[in-house]
Structure 1
């Protein structure tokens, strides 16, 4: 795994934790958006950087849209 992919995964973890701690009502949507995360064990999991970036943006957008409505 390269540094760029590792950074994206760290950002995803940070935003996910923010949702869990500050936006519990949005947690139900996390399962729906996790389809882009690698499946399987560490040895067989493929990480698609483009999909990870897209997932990160989805999470950020979810928070942004929620904040604009509340």
Structure 2
């Protein structure tokens, strides 16, 4: 449970950073893989949350490196 809370905190912080520092990217958050449960995946695991966090980090990294100067 503690690991889940840590990942959720990191997702929240990074999402806030994107919202305020990279508002042009904020619209893409809805297009990223969603971590909402579905009939095929009724459980959200730490792995799923970590994958989502990693995708957010990659989005910011790529944008910072290639677009925003």
TM-score class, shorter-chain normalisation, is 0.7 to 0.9
Number of corresponding residues: 64
TM-score under structure 2 length normalisation: 0.82
| Partner of residue 58, structure 1 | 55
Q: Where do 5+ consecutive residues of structure 1 fail to align?
A: 40-44
Spell out structure 1 runs of 4+ moving beyond 4 A: none
Kindly report the root-mean-square deviation, in angstroms, between the aligned alpha carbons of the 2 structures: 1.6
Q: Where do 5+ consecutive residues of structure 2 fail to align?
A: none
TM-score under structure 1 length normalisation: 0.81
SS of 2:44's equivalent? coil
How far apart are the structure 1 equivalents of 2:46 and 2:36? 10
The structure-2 alpha-carbon separation of the partners of 1:13 and 1:37, relative to structure 1 and needing over 3 Å to count, comes to farther
How far apart are the structure 1 equivalents of 2:5 and 2:13? 12
Q: Decide which structure has greater helix share.
A: 1
